[in-house]
C-alpha cells in the first residue's frame, strides 16, 4: 500500500517510521529545512530527534 503523510512534525514522522516497515510511505513537509534534513540525514532533528527514517535502496537519487 502507498501512504502519503501530509505534515512532517513529530506525529507525521512517527507514523512514517511505523508504516515504513510494511508500506511505501511519502512524507511531505511544508518547512524546507525539515525536508532537506530528512532527505540528507533521514532524521527529523527539529520535530522528532533521535529516530531515523528507514531507507530504501535507490531513494533520493
pLDDT digits (tens, 9 = 90+) for 23-36: 999 999 999 999 99
Cell of 52: 531515523
**pTM listed for this prediction:** 0.84
**Spatial separation of the C-alpha atoms in residues 34 and 51, rounded to whole Å:** 14
pLDDT tens digit string along 37-59?
A: 999 999 999 999 999 999 764 45
Kindly give, in sequence order, each residue whose CB lies less than 8 Å from that of residue 18, ignoring residues fewer than 6 positions away: none
Amino acid at each position: 500500500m502507498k501512504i502519503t503523510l501530509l505534515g512532517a512534525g513529530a506525529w507525521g514522522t512517527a507514523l512514517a517510521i511505523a508504516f515504513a516497515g510494511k508500506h511505501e510511505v511519502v512524507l511531505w513537509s511544508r518547512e524546507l529545512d525539515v525536508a532537506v534534513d530528512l532527505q540528507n540525514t533521514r532524521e527529523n532533528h527539529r520535530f522528532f530527534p533521535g529516530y531515523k527514517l528507514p531507507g530504501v535502496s535507490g531513494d533520493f537519487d
